[in-house]
Structure 1
Amino acid sequence: MDNKHEGMSFFESVPLIMNLSRNTIAHPNVQKLINDKNQQFDAVIAEWMFNEVYSGFSGIFNCPLIWFSTVEPHWMVLRLVDEVTNPAYSVDVASNSVPPLTFVQRVEELGTQIVGRLTQALWVSGIENNLYDEYFVPVIEKRHSTAPSFETLRFNASLLLSNSHVSMGVPAVLPANVIPIGGYHIKPNVKQLPEDLQKLMDNAKHGVIYFSMGSNLKSKQFPEVIKLDLLKMFGKLKQTVIWKFEEDLPNRPSNVHIVQWAPQQSILAHKNCILFITHGGLLSTTETMHFGVPIIGIPVFADQFVNVARAVKKGYAQKVDLSYSMAADIELAINKLLDNPSYKTRVKELSQIYHDRPVPPARELVHWVEHVVKTRGATHLRSPASMVAWYQKLYLDLVLVLVVLVLVLKRVYIFIKSIFIAKRKVKTN
């Protein structure tokens, strides 16, 4: 069970993601929607999930396309509205490195980007084009006679809504049409806790530690030895532990309380919540930043590794690997976090930065979507980088011109030199 940061490899996940997209588009309800010519929309908001097939919906409804990215800005999504980021100071979505990068890390990020771009060009794009031709082109042609190419649609986005904020991520050079909206999902007025949890947290005189591994990895799937080790370790603590667990655990210590469903935001908002043990998903990371709670991150998949790495780098988290020794490792991390007030101080500082915005993220999201609709695509926000070919960005055309010029001048030089040599020979004779 020792954890490796890659989790499921990109090459393993692509077929699964593509199959999910295929099943979504082929669903009878989706087919009914796109084949109904009476259905019209002002804009299409499509989630980016390692493919751009959903851009086909903007072709069907002939309206602006807005990409939604669930993770921090990275080269794969930014290339859709601007250009790929420089791997010398920006990292891949599945990386566990945080800038500034070492020499080895820079090489790794460069290699990841090269392999990713080749994979996209030589493999993924072919699958995407096939899906587009099969499911979208016939519908678009029925509505509009001709269908644009898939490449035209995928790079014709008006906006990129990014589930991110600088308080959690790394400052990045972003075009005007990339809008950070991290925290949009958190309601301004958090719901009241259920009565039993409210009473439990109110009476936790030593504070509450909240433990949740999200929805993808269920705690009940842990090996029995890990469950027992965690219960034994939690039982030694003076704090109250709320553990999101999908079934009841027998022989629990008196300070450990199981909830099969947890009102996470309400728990984190309580003044007695002093620590959050999490898988490090971006929504959970955003919520801990919103409410100012330090974390222990146990990353499992995809961007969870870089999210936790950033949290550690920023000084409000400890990382623990998913392994058979995780109970002992969590105990050490708990002691470090609770014995050192700098973690709490740092997360409160970052939380203040997170909240210091002109408008709440949910309002900003609505504003920019409406702006795209009002301006019929917000073309004034689009980066000129999207209109420049890659070889032009690298000035390879200039290099070619200079090479040709040097070759021509060399030829001229040789020709003139040969004339002078011929004249000298004539004179000597």
Structure 2
Amino acid sequence: MERAKVFCFLISIILTCGDAAKILVVFPMPSRSHGNLGDGVVRHLLNAGHEVTYITPFVYKNPPPNLRSIDVSATFDIMPIDMTIKNIMDRTINIENVGSLVYMMTEMLKKTVETESVQKLLSDPKEEFDLVVAEWMFSDVPAGFAAIYNCPLIWLSSVEPHWMILQLIDQPTNPAYTVDIMSIYTPPLNFFQRVNELWTQLKVKFLNFVWLDGVQEKAYNQLLAPFIAKRGRQPPSFDEVRHNASMILSNAYVSTSVAQSLPQSHKFIGGYHIEDKETALPEDLKKIMDNAKNGVVYFSMGSNLKSKDMPEEIKRDLLKMFGTLKQTVLWKFEEKPEKLPSNVHILQWAPQPAILSHPNLAVFVTHGGLLSTTEAVHFGVPIIGIPVFADQFMNVAKSVNRGFALRVDLSYSLAAELKDAINEVTSNPRFAEKAKELSYIHHDRPVKPGVELVHWVNHVIKTRGAPHLRSPALHVTFYQKMYLDLAVVLVLLFLAGRVLLKKICAAVCSKKECSAGGRKKNN
């Protein structure tokens, strides 16, 4: 019996190694939440037996043997140091401008490619990969990595599917019932909102056409195209490279997203970053949550925004307000105030999945990032969203529409409004019931998101880019999509018909005049 088990184990290892592929994963964004998404991709690929090279600013301390980690922590220098909650509130920094985001991501990629270890990787003619998985974040330039190795590309979208990324594999979505990633609206849209979404899409397209596409093309030609030429191949055009993706894997699912028409080469894998094995709470934190007779309020503004950077007035008011609650409060706070109410506990680091999975958690107060929202749905926890920037407004709006959340605006009256929201969510059972219902929807899938991720990665590799899934819309030009050629033909036919009709009328009239003249002569 034991020999049979050993034999089966050895056979499974051989089969795994036989299917193993060399995969390059590119996640240079110096943000812990984006790093978590990259780590999730790498974890699933490693467990599937693949050999992974990982470009990341968050280097593994003890990497497994089939992982090669390439440090690009120099990208932290690109992030704006003044991106704090106070500066965002006081509007001394603008992080909503698409042009600024594209420029920042282009500079980040430049910093990534110029890193010595990345230069060595790209310059080695013996280096080959079967697939590139790259995060799309307001830049199409990372598609050039796949062009260097002449292998398929999979985009990993860290946000919900939206028109800017979907146009890379199909066509832009209709703004009458879908919204921009930075939008504050959620479908169904009224007249004003539809007009606003149409204007946003047209404005960004115009900026891309006259400006931003040129910025990205220049970056591709300067940073990545030379490595293609070094391998003896003619570098393809930037437009060809960025529209050559085999698939988009979205960090979303219908439990948090909006049901919409999507191409076959788009797949939902939202929640893949959450580990199947639950992380145990530290003993001190477990004791606090176990003894919370009235439930626990967990407050975290995520990994990029720091509570310590809030205006002093807001921090003081929040602390005072939390002290009046009957619930136990866990506040992810990077500094410890001098005087703490007895029911308030400060966490400089929070094991978020473990906290969200605890049965005594009553409500999660969050900035509305997609990872936090997904984790709340995963564990069936109602939320109170305090959106600050980017897709957080849309995430919170969708959560409110789904019925398991309330929104509180980031303002100097935050404490009072947050208290009312906490009382409403914890006293009204409909929020918790809806959160549990969405959690069921989130988990009720044919396979787990991590398994689906690995399946489509393997599928793309084995089918050499999955060309059978690619949308024919990619090969249809704008004038053909809009039937402008048909409009021209119809106009020409109309004009030709009009001219012909005039000539017929003129001929008929001339004949009648001749006939009338002949009769007069006969008379």
Task: Report the TM-score range of the alignment, normalised by the length of the smaller protein.
Answer: over 0.9
Structure 1 alignment gaps of length 5 or more: none
Would the aligned equivalents of 2:181 and 2:391 in 1 still touch at CA under 8 Å? yes
Q: Counterpart amino acid of 1:124?
A: L
Q: Which residue, out of 296, 301, 304, partners 2:389?
A: 301
SS at match of 1:144: coil
Mapped partners of 1:154, 1:389: distance in 2 = 16
Amino acid at match of 2:180: D
Structure number with the bigger relative contact order (C-alpha 8 A, sep ≥ 6) is 1
**Number of aligned positions between the proteins:** 428
Secondary structure in 1 matching 2:264:
coil
One-letter identity of the residue aligned with 1:351: S
The structural deviation recorded for 1:191 is 1.1
1:168 aligns with: 256
More divergent stretch after superposition (404-413 vs 102-111): 404-413
Counterpart selection for 2:156 from 68, 92, 96? 68
How is 1:22-61 mapped onto 2 (pairs within 5 angstroms)?
22-61=110-149
Match among 267, 271, 278 for residue 179 of structure 1: 267
What is the distance in 1 between the residues matched to 2:506 and 2:514? Answer: 12
Once the two structures are TM-superposed, the CA of residue 172 in structure 1 deviates from its matched residue by: 1.0
The equivalent residue for 1:400 is: 488
Deviation at 1:33, TM superposition (A): 0.8
Could you tell me whether the CA contact under 8 Å between 1:3 and 1:300 is conserved in 2?
A: no
The match for 1:313 is 401
Partners of 1:306 and 1:3 lie apart in 2 by: 21
SS of aligned partner of 2:142: helix
**Distance between the aligned counterparts of 1:163 and 1:11, measured in 2?**
24
In structure 2, C-alpha distance between the alignment counterparts of 1:133 and 1:124, rounded to whole Å: 14
SS at match of 1:157: coil
Counterpart Cα distance in 1 of 2:253 and 2:389: 21
Partner residue of 2:290 out of 202, 206, 222: 202
* Counterpart residue number, 1:116: 204
The answer to whether the Cα contact below 8 Å between 1:78 and 1:84 also exists between their aligned partners in 2 is: yes
Q: CA deviation at 1:389?
A: 1.2
1:96-107 superposed matches below 5 A? 96-107=184-195
SS of residue in 2 equivalent to 1:274 = strand
Match of 1:258 among 338, 346, 354: 346
CA gap of 1:3–1:398, structure 2 versus 1, over 3 A, is: farther
Q: Deviations over 1:238-293 (max 9, x none)?
A: 11111111111110101111111110001101111111000000000000000010
Q: Which position in structure 1 is the counterpart of 2:182?
A: 94
Give me the whole-angstrom Cα distance separating, in 1, the residues matched to 2:233 and 2:299: 55
| 1:288 alignment partner, SS class | helix
Change (3 A) 1:323 1:99: same
* Cα distance in 2 for residues equivalent to 1:143 and 1:355: 46
Structure-1 separation of matches of 2:247 and 2:424: 42
Q: Offset at 1:24?
A: 1.5
Identity between Structure 1 and Structure 2 (%): 54
Matched residue SS, 1:40: coil
Could you list the runs of 5+ residues in structure 2 that have no partner in the other structure?
1-85, 518-523
2 CA distance for matches of 1:132 and 1:100? 38
Question: Which amino acid letter does the alignment assign opposite residue 270 of structure 2?
Answer: G
Write the distance in 1 (CA, Å) between the matches of 2:99 and 2:427.
43
Matched, 1:282 2:378: no
8 Å CA contact 1:7–1:300 kept in 2: the answer is no
1:416 to 504, 508, 522: 504
* Alpha-carbon distance, 1:132 to partner: 0.8
* CA distance in 1: counterparts of 2:487 and 2:96, whole angstroms: 41
TM-score (norm 1): 0.97
5 Å-filtered alignment, 1:124-139, equals 124-139=212-227
Post-superposition offset of 1:13: 2.6
* Structure exhibiting the larger radius of gyration computed from Cα positions: 2
